[in-house]
Amino acid sequence: MTGRIAEMGPSAVTGRIVVTRRIPEAGMALLWAEPGVEVEVLEEAQDRGPHRDRLLEAVAAADVLLCLLTEVVDRELLSAGRGLRGVSQMAVGVDNVDVPAATELGIPVGHTPGLLTDTTADLAWALLMATARHIPQAHQYQVEGRYRIWGPELFTGADLSPGGSGRRKVLGIVGFGRIGQAVARRSVGFDMEVVAHDPRNRERVEEAPGVRWAGLDELLESSDFVSLHTPLTPETHHLIGERELRRMKPSAILVNTARGPVVDETALVRALEEGWIAGAGLDVYEEEPHMAAGLAHLPNVVLLPHIGSASGDTRGRMARMAAMNALAFLRGEAGPHTVNPQVYATLAYGRRQSDRRHG
Ligand code: GLV
């Protein structure tokens, strides 16, 4: 390996990328195509992550860390990466990364925005429909051979479209970023009324065709379906708790494809048990992969294992973007998608680059 590195031109990229868990081939292939880059994959399996001690040890010898949202990239881990010149995460959300600490330490953090918008919006709709019409429960009933005779009240659910009622259903969207907007666009086919709430993007909501701005309480009180699309931040932690769930209609359905801690899951279980709301479709949980006690046994939930962006194409594109961010960090260049671009102007960042050149 050293011999090969010595033979390469001065602009060739060299260094060590630690990949916490194997990412799809499209991304791995980009990394492997660089002859001067050593790639260490800590965990090849899809169903477990590397032990924390292994991660701490590996990051100490890494130039770049390529990670997934399952890893806790906190100050301790970032500080252990003495030679670390970037963290590239294969996800759009980076709430598992202590970004302020990374910025202070001079480490850029890359992510994969834009690519998973449609795939995740599709899944939010799939959850909405599956919950409203009890699709998984009906499937189970069918495959278990329990369907003996058609019945007028078998698995009756809620309409998304006006149907014969003439009343348009109200879809409330909390968080009007890329995914929230894509969810709103899909409502046209169901002839829904759309209200949205996003204090950071009020103008965007007001300018969106067919979308009405609402305060959070008004949105919760008036919506038949509420879909969450806000990133997890200190402000959005438990944004939907007991108080908010009690404001929703008893016939309402809550969908969460954003981040688990946006909802107080214990309060949600009570809301579903006691009929404050009618149902919930969840792709994310407060303490993934665990669920709050009682949640899994409720009849009015549809529960998925965080698969919002899980189409083969999208995951491949995310893997490529994560690899491209990682290689840019290795070259000492700004990553194409950095969540803390202000880091590039810091002394701490400059110091890391020159330590590398002179070390
Ligand atoms: C998935 O949850 C992501 O943030 O990319």
Q: How confident is the model at residue 12 (pLDDT cuts 50, 70, 90)?
A: confident
- Catalytic-residue membership of 259: yes
Q: What angle do CA 352, 356, 359 make, to 5 degrees?
A: 120
242 catalytically annotated:
no
Residues 211 and 227 in one domain: yes
Pocket of ligand 1 from Cβ distances under 6 Å: 69, 91-93, 116, 308-309
Residue 9 belongs to a domain: no
* Structural domain contains residue 110: yes
pLDDT at 31: 98
pLDDT value for 6: 38
Residues 213 and 346 in one domain: no
Q: Catalytic: which of 22, 237, 246, 306?
A: 306
- Is 10 within a domain? no
- CA 290–ligand 1 middle distance (angstroms): 17
Contact indicator for 57, 35 with CB cutoff of 8 Å: no
| C-alpha 151 – ligand 1 centre gap (Å) | 41
Q: 331: helix, coil or strand?
A: helix
**Using one digit for the tens of pLDDT, what is the confidence trace for 33-85?**
999 999 999 998 888 999 999 999 999 999 999 999 999 999 999 999 999 99
Please write the tens of the pLDDT for every residue from 283-308: 999 999 999 999 999 999 999 999 99
Whether residues 110 and 123 share a domain: the answer is: no
Give dist(CA 231, CA 56) in Å, integer. 27
The rounded distance, in Å, linking the Cα atoms of 175 and 228 is 6
What's the average model confidence in pLDDT over 155-184? 97
Q: Is residue 4 part of a domain?
A: no
Residue 3 included in any domain: no
Count of the separate structural domains present in the chain: 2
55 C-alpha vs ligand 1 centroid, how far in Å? 21
CA quadruple 335, 116, 172, 241: dihedral, nearest 10: -70
pLDDT of residue 41: 97
Co-location of 99 and 168 in the same domain: no
| Residue 325 lies in domain | 15-115+311-358
For ligand 1, what atom is nearest to the CA of residue 111?
A: 5
Residues 137 and 257 in one domain: yes
pLDDT digit string (tens) for 178-207?
A: 999 999 999 999 999 999 999 999 999 999
Q: What is the percent of the chain with per-residue pLDDT over 70, rounded to a whole number?
A: 97
Residue tagged active-site, from 229, 259, 317, 337: 259
pLDDT of 25 reads 97
Rounded CA gap, 282 and 33, in Å? 38
Do 131 and 240 sit in the same domain of this protein? yes
* 214 and 279, same domain (yes or no): yes
pLDDT of residue 1: 31
pLDDT (average), residues 117-140: 98
Confidence band, pLDDT 50/70/90 cuts, at residue 358: confident
Helix %, strand %, coil % for the chain, to 5?
40, 15, 45
My answer on whether 97 and 212 are in the same domain is: no
**Nearest Cα to Cα of residue 303 among 126, 153, 47, 182:** 126
* Mutation test residue for ligand 1: of 116, 118, 127, 257, the one with most atoms within 8 Å of CB: 116
Question: What is the structure's pLDDT at 11?
Answer: 55
| Residue 359 pLDDT class (50, 70, 90 cuts) | low
The answer to the question of residue 280 being in a domain is yes
pLDDT in tens, 233-282: 999 999 999 999 999 999 999 999 999 999 999 999 999 999 999 999 99
Same domain, 214 and 143: yes
Residue 261 within any structural domain of the chain:
yes
CATH number assigned to the domain comprising residue 137: 3.40.50.720
- Residues 229, 239: one domain? yes
Measured N-to-C along each axis, helices 135-143 and 117-132 cross at an angle, to the nearest 10 degrees, of 60
**What b/e readout covers 22-59, taking b as 16+ CB neighbours within 10 angstroms?**
bbbebbbebbeebebbbbebbbeeeeebbeeeebeebb
